[in-house]
Amino acid sequence: MKRYVIFLILAIVLGGCLDNESQPIPEESETPEESEIPGEEDEQLPEESETPEVSQIPEVSEVIIHEEPVYDVIIVGAGISGLSAAFSLQDYTIKVLEKNDKVGGRILSGSYKGVAYAKGAEYIGKPEGLLRKMISQLKLQLREIPSPMDAQFYKGKFYYGEDAIASLFINYSSLEEYNDFALTILGYYHKYEWLPDFRADSELAYLDFMTAREWFSHMGFPEIFADRYNVAARGLFGANIDEISALSFIPEIAFDYEGFEPIIDTDLEDSLVKGEESTEAYSFENGLSELTDALAAYLGDKIQVNSTVTQVLQNNERYTVYYEDEKGNTHAMTSKVVILAVPAPISLKLAPDILDKEQKEILEQIPYASYATVALFSEVPIFDRAFDLAVPDDYFFTDVYDAVWISEYYDSPGNVTPYIITVYVAPHSYKDRSLLSMSDEEILENIYTDLEKIFPQVRQKITGYDITRFPYAYPVMVTGAHHRLSRLHVITHGSFLLAGDYTIYPTLEAAVESGEIAAEKAREQLSNDDNLSLMSFTILIIIILISNISNHYWIGIVREALT
């Protein structure tokens, strides 16, 4: 922008010099009378009825207009996708508007008697790309989750660690079928194309139109695999394997078999020594919210919380974003680019007049599952022999996490008080949203009923609880999702952009990538705007120079040319 100002000043100075050299100084008597100033007698103010109407502005008694600055980018939503976009665009004039009083979206943590616990997303895989860069630049200490990471409770028996879980599958199928399942999954995963690189003509594209259960049946996998992985599907998508596409489920299953080698010896035992093996799964001592909190501190006043965006309108090449503060006052900000980093249904509500028909049709086909996490506090341990315990498919909840598993291992071995477990409650179908209307007492009673099948008399040990409900917990990748989202990436460009895990995959890593992609598109748009602005300034300079050169000068040029 500085170069444009310099060019403009130079043009005015040069123009003034040329004007002074070519124009004769008027005689004092030639100064027009005050009443003779050109155009003054013709200038009229518009009648009140001629004042242009302002349409589609929120119906409030007063809107507080923030005319300065005109932001390069306004990002709506300070979940991890919005924060990732902001981090990528930190050198621009940006503002992130978040409705809640803190950032993070579904990445939340709580604290009980000084002990932190996760209330949302629990862990990530090995960080790569932008995620790795943010963790490094923010100087955060990543912690590998100690083994055994996974455990299962099935038909009255516990299975701790990879070997024991493998024995569970083998016991209800066979060694050959287990090895075949694992190798088949890895073979398909190596051919899998992540969004937005997915191609409709790719080798696995047909699996996008087949449900996961249909694929399990088609492949002839024993029933134990469909049964156990249905719980995993509910935990990841809030949906069952009759609802999600086979293609969407392959990456999640493959995560369980990274580095797999065929099993020869069936004499498999529980893994009970904490931290004995690498898990390739990570978090922070106080949960993943360490990352989002650090991003908020790093970005500073670029983030504005307690700001509920109500509408986004487009006016030529600018956008006006309306939001309400915590007192209910409505404000308006202007930007060149907008990134909506909110769930798909919210994007539809905020910008129905900006999204085109095809974008709206795709967003309308992205269902969301509700979800709840319930932290249970106690003075004695309830579950402390693995990080995550998966339960039978017909239970009210899908998983029980030892919320102090990481901090106990790294900070205070054998000396954690209080104890905290976090129960993850997912519906049996994404269409069931009854969790949102259940009272705390109903949720707790349903949890205790099934939890006592695993840990008898557990309710007597609970000293407190914390329930968090998520109305838009997970985007469900139903059949055809990859094809639709691939198209959404193609048609979403320019100055109005979308970000969120729903555009790629329902994981934190995918949400980060979506923010990075939106930031790249925003940067490209702003670069194009700069190039157009430079061209406009160049034309303006030429016009100013020409307009300040007298007719006598041009006559002289013509005479010289003719002679």
- Structure token digits, residue 7: 């060019």
Q: Where does 329-439 have alpha helices with state H?
A: 344-350, 357-363, 405-410
Instruction: Inform me whether the pLDDT recorded for 302 exceeds 70.
Output: yes
Residue 92 has pLDDT above 90, yes or no: yes
Confidence band for 312, pLDDT divided at 50, 70 and 90: very high
CA dist., res. 283 & res. 281, Å (int): 7
List the end-to-end C-alpha distance of the chain, in Å, as a whole number. 45
pLDDT exceeds 50 at position 233: yes
User: What pLDDT is stored for residue 497 in this prediction?
Assistant: 99
pLDDT for 21 equals: 42
Half-sphere exposure (Cβ direction) of 415: Cα atoms closer than 13 Å: 4
pLDDT digits (tens, 9 = 90+) for 99-109: 999 999 999 99
Q: What is the DSSP letter of 460?
A: G
Specify whether the backbone of 42 is left (phi greater than 0), alpha (psi in -120 to 50) or beta.
Answer: alpha
pLDDT at 560: 65
As a whole number, the mean pLDDT across the chain is 88
Q: For residue 463, which of 369, 555, 382 has the smallest C-alpha distance? A: 382
pLDDT tens-place string over residues 520-531: 999 999 998 655
Average pLDDT over residues 61-85: 92
Strands, sheet with 368-378, edge to edge from the N-terminal-most edge strand: 157-160, 150-154, 388-390, 399-402, 419-425, 368-378, 462-475
Mean predicted confidence (pLDDT) in 36-63: 42
pLDDT of 69 reads 87
161 or 61, which is more confident: 161
pLDDT for residue 553: 59
Highest mean pLDDT: which of 260-274, 432-446, 540-554?
A: 432-446
Residues 117-170: tens digit of each pLDDT: 999 989 999 999 999 999 999 999 999 999 999 999 999 999 999 999 999 999
Task: Evaluate if residue 40 carries a pLDDT over 50.
Answer: no
Domains and CATH numbers, the chain: 150-278 (1.10.405.10)
Range in 77-86, 240-249, 386-395, 402-411 with the lowest mean pLDDT: 402-411
Burial class, 131, CB count within 10 angstroms (exposed 0-12 / middle 13-18 / buried 19+): buried
**pLDDT greater than 70 at residue 31:** no
Residue 363 Cα distances to 234, 475, 487, angstroms: 22, 11, 11
Give the CB-side neighbour count of residue 56, counting CA atoms within 13 A: 13
Could you tell me what percent of the chain has a pLDDT over 70?
Answer: 82
Q: Band of the pLDDT at 554, cuts 50, 70, 90? A: low
| The predicted structure's pLDDT at residue 540 | 64
CB 511 within 8 A of CB 277: no
Mean pLDDT of 195-220: 98
Is the model's pLDDT at 278 over the cut of 70? Answer: yes
- Lowest mean per-residue pLDDT among 41-55, 206-220, 395-409: 41-55
Mean pLDDT computed over 386-403: 98
Q: What is the pLDDT of residues 280-291, one digit of tens each?
A: 999 998 899 999
pLDDT band per the 50, 70, 90 thresholds, residue 562? low
Range of weakest confidence among 74-78, 200-204, 537-541: 537-541
